[in-house]
Amino acid sequence: MPDKACRLCRRIVKGNICPACKTSDLSKSWKGILVVVNPESDIAKEAGITAPGKYAIRVK
């Protein structure tokens, strides 16, 4: 089964619940992966990401 992306935080989730948002509002329609190692970086700040992890760039 393909990974899904959380519609709220765009985190790429394995399973049916986002561990950050505790929501099952996940999408199979997403594009691009952004790997955030340092949430203090400009790229993470621009994307509004506050925790390290793998994120989808676009979620439908």
CB of 45 to Zn ion, least distance (A): 18
Under the binding rule (CB under 5 A), the answer on residue 5 touching Zn ion is no
Q: Going residue by residue from 7 to 36, which x/- string records binding to Zn ion, judged by CB under 5 A? A: -xx-x------x-xx---------------
Under the binding rule (CB under 5 A), the answer on residue 47 touching Zn ion is no
Contacts of 5 (CB under 8 A, 6+ apart): 11, 12, 13, 26, 27, 30, 55, 56, 59
Strands 53-59 and 30-36: antiparallel
Summarize as ranges the residues that interact with Zn ion (CB under 5 A). Answer: 6, 8-9, 11, 18, 20-21
